Structure 1
Amino acid sequence: MGQSLSVEINDSNNLSLCKLDIKPWLFSKRRGFRTIQAGSGSGSGSGSGSGSGSILIDIYWDLTYAKFGSSPEPTTGFYFAIAINREHILVLGDMEKEVHKKIR
């Protein structure tokens, strides 16, 4: 877990909407969830990402039962997912049912 993860989200014109550098400390817990608001909208309150140009980026992970091989990446028993405005855009791992339950 000494690595970091970089994610860049671009629009259809290939203009960067946001870039996230996710550091290893985010994964200090073996299971978790993090929401990041990006974009120009200021969206107040608990927000559903409805502000003009506002994007809600949800990051979910569970490494509780992860099994590792000879590399630092888990091989089974994990998930890592990113959703934008509650729509899945990336799901990694072999626990897809669990991550779908989390996002709903």
Structure 2
Amino acid sequence: MSSYNLKAIRKEHHDTQKGLAEKTGYQQSFISEMETGKVNMPDYFIERLKEIYGIEDLEKYRVEKTRNKPGRPPKEDQISSKIVERMLSIIESQNIRLAQLEERIHELERKK
């Protein structure tokens, strides 16, 4: 997912989060969340940013967005592995139940 380095854009134009918030009409906390990657930068915000700072092309500010910190698996992978572990646990318990059922069927067949 591509995004732009909002902090670099803002700093290059000698602006603060509060100043940018006032210029855009957004709350400073929203500016902060976009800078830290907690929320994506909406297209309409990007267009407004270009207007405010007189930027035609934001390519030099493009960054590839990652959600994980170095050395840590992405949150999605952590969730996925927990789901897989749970599914394997369920399958294992179902296999045990299936084996018990098969054993009971064999017992009943032997008694016939």
Q: Identify the TM-score tier after normalising by the shorter chain.
A: under 0.3
**Higher strand fraction: Structure 1 or Structure 2?**
1
Greater helix percent: which structure? 2
TM-score w.r.t. structure 1 length?
Answer: 0.23
Return the index of the structure with the highest Cα Rg: 2
